[in-house]
Amino acid sequence: MLRRFGQLAVLLALAGVQVPVAALAAVMLLVSFALGMVFLFPPQVRMVRRLAQLHRRLVGRWTGMAIEPPYLPAPPPPVPQADGMYRSDRTLYKTPRVPAWSERWRWMLTDPATWRDEAWLVLDPLVKVALVPLFLVMPERGMRVYALWADLLLGATAASRLAGQVTHLRRTRTLAADSQAAEMRRIERDLHDGTQARLVAIGMTLGAVEQLVDTDPNAAKALLAKARDASSETLTELRRVIRGIHPPVLAERGLSDAVRALAIDSPLQVTVDVDMPHRPDPPVEAAVYFAVSELLSNAARHGDARTATVDVSANGGALRVTVTDDGLGGADPSKGSGLAGIERRLAAFDGVLALHSPPGGPTTVTMELPRVLPEYWAGEPDLPRWKSALVIALWATAWCPTFPQGLVAGVIKVAGYDGDPSWFLALRLPEPLQWPTILGMTALGVIMHVMAVRIPASHNRDHWVGRLFPGPIC
């Protein structure tokens, strides 16, 4: 009780702060648009947003109801054109300062959450004062009502969530495209520097054989043997390139056996532990395979490691991979150790990478990719208690209107039974109401049976839709 009264005191104190802030914000808005001093608009918006974020944080801490910020994603930084200039509308600039400021100003102006914050700033002190009697009589209920009010104006909307998801998808798509482009450049370089050079050498050797086959057969035979050895080396090189694109063992045997094959080929002593009941999709397998390959290669080349462990496990719908080595440690993604490339691969699947590599070792890299495994083996989610109680009540009572008061009463009515109808409600009513009551009871019982079946089915469906498509679907 005292805690709620303390929270009420904090809210009223904040209301005392909001009144002068609202007056200042109104003046800044008026000056910005009436007098053309548009440079005052961004700081005004930031001031109001900080105060709104303070209320979101306090309400979430006091009530446990998290209020997600509703703001649209900030615009990306300006990108220079081919000539090095930066464009803002029809004007070119030498530096990105003005285009960046213009984009942020337009973003704040067109974001509906900006104006919802302004309306909240004006109305919130009045709401707090109006809720004081409820706070005094029922503090818990009063805080809940205020949380609902704050969520109404300060919470995220379907549009803001969708915009955030679109921005995230655009970013991951860009990362995936960059990763694919880097992979294509690597393959092109391997083919150009290795396989192509060997094929050119074989062609030159065969040309020399053609010239010597009549004049110096022994020399021609020696060159043919050299060409045969070069073709064997070229085939080995091509197989290595193919394995770098998509290893056959990964396509045929899956991620588990492919990681074990990596362990066998690695110069390290690698222990592999896989607990994954079902295979993920091929793109996920490829991303994890090449990530593990890169980590083992780093441990051998840069970490001077001797042993390593690879643990692949399923956590519901998430795939978690942990690679640990006993190397020198000190791994840093900014030093070009390949970790940045792994992060780009994982980002295409909303995956994250956690690195723990103190100087002296050991190095532990944990990768987690959410919602990439089928979750049907995890069991059905439990119903909330109130839903379970409702289903039990429906099954316990639905038989009564369906059969005794519905179907059985109808059979007795058709048969013209003249006995005591005291147990059958419809047969005790006046004649014009009997058939409507019988049909109504039967329909009520059928509806209750349908609800008893539909409530658990709907709960499970919503659960899996939420797992597969997190966030609102618009």
In a domain, 452, yes or no: yes
Tell me: do 367 and 403 sit in the same domain: no
Tell me: do 223 and 263 sit in the same domain: no
Domain C-terminal end among 245, 272, 296: 245
Domain C-terminal end among 204, 223, 245: 245
- Residue 465 is predicted with a pLDDT of 44
Tell me: do 416 and 342 sit in the same domain: no
Neighbours of 217 (CB within 10 A): 11
What average pLDDT does the chain have? 81
- Residue 329 contacts residue 361 (beta carbons within 8 Å): yes
Q: Structural domain tally of the chain?
A: 4
Tell me: do 263 and 351 sit in the same domain: yes
Domain C-terminal end among 354, 377, 400: 377
Tell me: do 401 and 372 sit in the same domain: no
Question: Which residues face 273 on adjacent strands?
Answer: 311
Tell me: do 280 and 371 sit in the same domain: yes
Q: What are phi and psi of 105, to 5 degrees?
A: -65, -45
- Residue 461 is predicted with a pLDDT of 52
Task: Give dist(CA 3, CA 65) in Å, integer.
Answer: 17
- Can you state the angle between helices 217-245 and 158-190, rounded to 10 degrees? 170
Tell me: do 54 and 20 sit in the same domain: yes
In a domain, 86, yes or no: no
In a domain, 162, yes or no: no
Structure tokens at 122: 């004006």
Give 238-277 pLDDT, tens digit per residue. Answer: 776 666 666 778 878 888 888 898 888 888 899 999 888 8
Task: Give dist(CA 410, CA 416) in Å, integer.
Answer: 10
Give 26-80 pLDDT, tens digit per residue. Answer: 999 999 888 888 889 999 999 999 999 999 999 999 988 888 888 888 888 888 8
Tell me: do 235 and 259 sit in the same domain: no
Tell me: do 200 and 141 sit in the same domain: no
Tell me: do 348 and 307 sit in the same domain: yes
DSSP for 424-469? -TGGGS-HHHHHHHHHHHHHHHHHHHHHHHHHHHHHHHHHHHHHHS
Question: Which residues face 271 on adjacent strands?
Answer: 309
The pLDDT-based confidence of 188 (bands split at 50, 70, 90) is: confident
Write the CATH number for 280.
3.30.565.10
Closest to 194 in 3D by CA, of 225, 233, 232: 233
- Residue 258 contacts residue 249 (beta carbons within 8 Å): yes
In a domain, 166, yes or no: no
* Sheet arrangement for strand 318-325: 269-275, 307-315, 318-325, 363-369, 352-356
In a domain, 101, yes or no: no
Give 373-386 pLDDT, tens digit per residue. Answer: 875 444 445 667 77
In a domain, 37, yes or no: yes
Work out whether strand 269-275 and strand 307-315 pair parallel, antiparallel, or are unpaired.
parallel
Q: Which domain holds residue 118?
A: 2-72+111-156
Task: Give dist(CA 159, CA 157) in Å, integer.
Answer: 5
In a domain, 197, yes or no: yes
In a domain, 341, yes or no: yes
First and final C-alpha spacing in the chain = 41
Tell me: do 311 and 428 sit in the same domain: no
Tell me: do 315 and 284 sit in the same domain: yes
Give 114-149 pLDDT, tens digit per residue. Answer: 999 999 999 999 888 888 888 888 888 888 888 888
Q: Is the pTM of this model over 0.75?
A: no
